[in-house]
Structure 1
């Protein structure tokens, strides 16, 4: 798995760059859309959950900006996951020529999608840090723990994407199912509410969601200035690497039939 990604690293970066630039080519605002879209969604969610439903994070003297930043931190994590997973079932289907006519390392298609999504994730993080600096001053030093949290999360996304990209070739209904599933994940993850808001009986179920730990830890290091739970993080690293490897093996085993199906 690692050998393939390293061997094709230049191709992955070049393809991801072309994909990012191609998405906004010809549009008036260009790359600014990658900032404008999450800010619009943040404004809507902040109004609906902060003003209409009166959701709170339990912070003393909580302001609207604090609520918005904690909400935005959760959305950054979810959007990274959703962008890759929603595209996964169509990754191979959208590149039929690579399957039939070109000698191409198909296993890097999920990596290209992930790098493209990480670009937008980094832009959103930049906007988050800029807003924090403007309203609250310098962010806590725990922000440097962020790569330790996002890297295993990226491997988990890769494992899911490899599995779904393969399944999408054989089962076309997967794309429809994933669209519904990601919408469910949005509300079953602690994005709009803290995990502590749930009763104890449901809180344990919430942590079965693979997004929960990442969202809670990202919020802790970005906003609250707390160090991550290194024991949980170590377990998460091991599990996500195993999951990524299983997804990679599944993709490599099933890719032999892609040309026949397509």
Structure 2
């Protein structure tokens, strides 16, 4: 197919890279420290998580309940890294078309690449946080296993899922102006229905089904397993999430293409 998903992405890969660089740099344009903020922000959040949940609330993780305050902060930080990548893409997707009206008017511009650009930008921020996480883990004496090499594998379904949902939201938000408010609420719900601030092990059995079918929650747990606990992910769960994410990716792409012809008439 002439305009299938793979062809669109490969054909415009250089444009995607250039626009991603511009998107990353524009975020810090005019600030005193510039892109250094991409390092300071996650460091600041790591300190906050450790202080609030470890010291003030004296929280313990369900896995053993014996982690130090600093390790507990790393556990929370790992969950937030995965969630923030997902959240950043979806929250920005609701305004990505409206923010690039000049591209909408250009017939030859491939609007489909806007969602992958958001994903790459979110991944850039997420990878910086992951580097900080790994460095802090080493400093705190956590033994890193070779399983850490599986980070790209665990990130793959997250990338597919975020991109697909990004296409859906980008298209819908053009015609439904309240999409931004609804997505904001849903992302908050997703935050508390995912094991970011608590372990799945402490969830009552009658509510466990929510987490068994929550792709985001599964990926958060798997990221902790491969980085902090040196374990392999559950491959059956990973495969299921990846297949579902792939379906959403393809469906989101063709849904976007189906509606994009009417964007110029609505904006």
TM tier relative to shorter chain: over 0.9
User: TM-score, with normalisation over the residues of structure 1?
Assistant: 0.96
> Are the counterparts in 1 of residues 138 and 144 from structure 2 also a CA contact under 8 Å?
yes
Q: Does 1:24 align with 2:8?
A: no
Alignment equivalent of 1:153, drawn from 158, 161, 185: 158
* Partner of residue 6, structure 1: 10
Quick one: distance in 2 between partners of 1:245 and 1:43?
39
1:222 correspondence with 2:227: yes
Judge which range, 52-61 or 67-76, deviates more.
52-61
1:175 pairs with 2:175: no
Q: Tell me which residue corresponds to 1:45.
A: 49
For each residue in 1:55-95, what CA deviation from the matched residue of structure 2 results, as whole angstroms up to 9, or x when unmatched? 21133631011101111110100010111110001011101
Paired residue secondary structure (2:140)? helix
- 3-state SS in 2 of match to 1:90: coil
Where does 1:67-78 land on structure 2 (aligned, <5 Å)? 67-78=72-83
Give the gaps of 5 or more residues in structure 2. Answer: none
For residues 20-169 of structure 1, the aligned pairs below 5 Å read 20-57=24-61, 58-59=63-64, 61-101=66-106, 103-136=108-141, 138-169=143-174
Counterpart CA distance in 2 for 1:232 and 1:206 is 12
User: What is the total number of aligned residue pairs between the two structures?
Assistant: 262
Instruction: Give the stretch that moved more between structures: 40-49 or 119-128.
Output: 40-49
Contact 1:55 1:192 in 2 (8 A): no
Q: CA RMSD in A?
A: 1.4
Counterpart in the other structure of 1:197: 202
- CA distance in 1 between partners of 2:259 and 2:124 (Å): 29
Report if aligned partners of 2:211, 2:218 keep a CA contact under 8 Å in 1: no
CA shift, 1:176, in A, is 1.1
The normalised TM-score by structure 2 is 0.94
Residues 66 and 74 (structure 1), Cα distance of their counterparts in 2 relative to 1, 3 Å cut: same
Q: Distance in 2 between matches of 1:173 and 1:76?
A: 27
